[in-house]
Amino acid sequence: MSVPFIEFKNVIKTFRQQDKEFPVLKGIDLSIEEGDIFGIIGFSGAGKSTLIRCVNRLEKIDGGSIRVGNYDIENLSPPELNLYKQKIGIIFQQFNLLDSRTVFKNVSFPLEIVNKSKKEIKERVLELLELVDIVDKKDFYPGQLSGGQKQRVGIARALVNNPFVLLSDEATSALDPVSSLAVLDLLKNINKKLGLTIVLITHELDVVKYACNNVAILEEGKIVEKGKVRDIFLNPKSKTANLFININENFLRNDWADKGEGI
Ligand SMILES: Nc1ncnc2c1ncn2[C@@H]1O[C@H](COP(=O)(O)OP(=O)(O)OP(=O)(O)O)[C@@H](O)[C@H]1O
Ligand SMILES: [Mg+2]
């Protein structure tokens, strides 16, 4: 059997405030294969963003282990941790672009931090802007872009350091359905072209169905179900998976049927 590229073993994360403890991740076991597009779906507050923040080491875990590639991420020296963080690309729901910088300068920022030469920066940034198809807006500021265009810039910035994983935290949740599909198509294309492992965090069933091969269902800090997207959604076992599917497929239908407008 192949060794998974990302491996969570009994991951525990507990927030503490004053003398109270808030357990958020309660023993996560999960394996993600290299080159996969893996979805993690759950309702609000399930712990999805916390899990992602533990992977990119914005948060430290309280127990268990996370391995990404050859990095046992809780046991890295400061230089190793710096290198590791450069290898993790991340995109967010609210894009997190710098408003005072142009598109070009937003994408070049991570390269400036690591002191790349001007020539190298220009070549790499233009290459990425081509990949996400937004070269024509390179001198625009974020305030002059649509949501879908902003997310393309976010994706270009996330890829600029050649990461070995791309983490997406609700990257399409703020977009209209057409822009959302376009961004998911772009991610699928990048996965295929670069072989990049992508972890998609979402509370949207359609995102998982459209873009992911495998999925894990996160419910109150625990993985309650995992497997191939098709298998899970054809035969859901957990409360959360059943709720997602029912809300998605039946709620609107029944609501219209009640009004005598069955669809
Ligand atoms: N820094 C923190 N201190 C205390 N509690 C926190 C902190 N960050 C998150 N939490 C708590 O952890 C739980 C999970 O939060 P998280 O942001 O991971 O959820 P989520 O699944 O991403 O939700 P959403 O879909 O709304 O984004 C919540 O109850 C939240 O209040
Ligand atoms: Mg979240």
Residues 75-130: pLDDT tens digits? 999 999 999 999 999 999 999 999 999 999 999 999 999 899 999 999 999 999 99
Dist. CA 218 → ligand 1 center (Å): 13
pLDDT for residue 232 is more than 80: yes
Q: Best substitution site from 22, 28, 52 to test ligand 1's pocket, by max atoms within 8 Å of Cβ?
A: 22
For residue 13 and ligand 1, the question of a CB distance below 6 A is answered with no
Q: Of 1-15, 124-138, 153-167, give the lowest mean pLDDT range.
A: 1-15
Q: How far apart are CA 91 and CA 157, in angstroms?
A: 9
For residue 105 and ligand 1, the question of a CB distance below 6 A is answered with no
The Cα-based distances of 41 to 51, 163, 216, 218 in angstroms read: 12, 23, 6, 6
Q: How many of the other CB atoms lie within 10 Å of CB of 252? A: 11
The residue whose C-alpha atom lies closest to atom 7 belonging to ligand 1 is: 15
Q: Best substitution site from 16, 48, 51 to test ligand 1's pocket, by max atoms within 8 Å of Cβ?
A: 48
pLDDT for position 245? 85
Q: What is the pLDDT of residues 175-228, one digit of tens each?
A: 999 999 999 999 999 999 999 999 999 999 999 999 999 999 999 999 999 999
Domains in the chain: boundaries: 1-77+166-172+199-263
For residue 18 and ligand 1, the question of a CB distance below 6 A is answered with no
Q: What angle do CA 245, 230, 176 make, to 5 degrees?
A: 55
pLDDT tier, 255 (very low <50, low <70, confident <90, very high otherwise): low
Which CATH architecture is the domain 1-77+166-172+199-263 placed in? Answer: 3-Layer(aba) Sandwich (3.40)
pLDDT for position 257? 62
φ, ψ at 232 (rounded to 5°): -65, -45
- Give start and end residues of each alpha helix (H) in 132-226: 147-159, 177-194, 205-211
Residues in the chain: 263
Q: What is the pLDDT of residues 17-72, one digit of tens each?
A: 989 999 999 999 999 999 999 999 999 999 999 999 999 999 999 999 999 999 99
Q: What is the pTM of this model?
A: 0.92
pLDDT tier, 3 (very low <50, low <70, confident <90, very high otherwise): confident
Q: Best substitution site from 11, 12, 14, 15 to test ligand 1's pocket, by max atoms within 8 Å of Cβ?
A: 15
Helix axes 147-159, 103-113, angle to 10 degrees: 20
Q: How far apart are CA 168 and CA 130, in angstroms?
A: 21
Is the CB of residue 129 less than 8 Å from the CB of residue 104?
yes
Mean pLDDT of the chain: 93
pLDDT for position 100? 97
With a pLDDT cut of 90, the percent of the chain lying above it is: 88
